[in-house]
Amino acid sequence: MNGWEMVAVACAGLAAGSINAVVGSGTLVTFPVLLAVGLPPVTATVSNSLGLVPGNLTGSIGYRRELAGQRGLLLRLLPASVLGALTGAFLLLHLPSEAFEAVVPALIGLAVVLVAVQPAVQRALARRRARNDAPPRRIGRGRMAALFAGAYATGSYGGYFAASQGVLQIGIFGLLLHESLQRLNALKNVLTLAVNAVAAGAYVVVATDRIDWRAAALVAAGSLVGGHLGARFGRRLPAVALRTAIVLLGLTAVAALLTR
């Protein structure tokens, strides 16, 4: 990478860290940039997951106020997210790279659709809460099993390809929990941190040769600052502009992969 490409990767990490703290689609910023500077798709995914961990951490810390009272739920869901992350990382590292390159355009397409429809999902969740003026305080076994399955499924998706796992988490957990969107976002941030950290640890242990350490470090430096800024100021950003940019970047990544 030349100097300008390094700056672009660091700026992409900054944007991704901010977006992940607020929305959860930062990979749709970093992944196309890493492809554009010449990284193969699997190397880009592995390096990206490693680089986004600091941003996930600062974003989670920034939302610590909204985590009040969710400790018990987090302790029950974290094992599912960790198992999912290990499953996704195993699939990424053991399936042929051709399989990843074939499926990733579809995964990015799914992520773009999820980002685009998120406002409709949020409105539906708000209407659902409005109909439940006195939500039950206790989570029953059936709902807990569904939450565990959701955490495992989104963790597997995130361990394999991280784009929009947060959007998936908010959609699934929002249907099962009587919580505000900000508290759901705080829960999402911690689970995403766990998924990315576990997947990144697996890559470091068994796939060091597939990591571009310079790219990972640049993304990490940007995302570290971006996660803090996103948690502090991200709620003030125009949601429509942010969502439009993410969708356009996602479509760019699909086009880049299909024309390789």
Residue 136: pLDDT above 60?
no
Q: Is the whole-model pTM more than 0.85? A: no
Which residue is listed with tokens 């996930």?
56
Q: What is the pLDDT of residue 102?
A: 79
**In terms of pLDDT, which residue wins out, 48 or 249?**
48
Q: How confident is the model at residue 83 (pLDDT cuts 50, 70, 90)?
A: very high
Q: How confident is the model at residue 118 (pLDDT cuts 50, 70, 90)?
A: low
Residue 70 to residue 189: CA distance in whole angstroms: 13
Q: What is the pLDDT of residue 238?
A: 66
- 156-165, 199-208, 242-251: segment of lowest average pLDDT: 242-251
Q: How confident is the model at residue 175 (pLDDT cuts 50, 70, 90)?
A: confident
Residue 18 to residue 67: CA distance in whole angstroms: 19
Which residue is listed with tokens 């579809």?
106
Mean pLDDT taken over the chain: 82
Asked if residues 188 and 170 have their Cβ atoms less than 8 Å apart, the reply is: yes
Residue 177: pLDDT above 90?
no
- Reference 165, options 32, 44, 62, 16; nearest CA is 16
- 32-46, 73-87, 152-166: segment of lowest average pLDDT: 152-166
The b/e string for 98-137 (b: 16+ C-beta within 10 A; e otherwise) is eebeeebbebbebbbebbeebeebbeebeeebeeeeeeee
Residue 139 to residue 67: CA distance in whole angstroms: 17
CA distances from 168 to 11, 40, 164, 251 (A): 25, 26, 6, 19
- Reference 90, options 183, 181, 177, 156; nearest CA is 156
Q: What is the mean pLDDT of residues 64-72?
A: 86
102: CB partners within 8 A, 6+ apart: none
Residue 4: pLDDT above 80?
yes
Residue 133: pLDDT above 70?
no
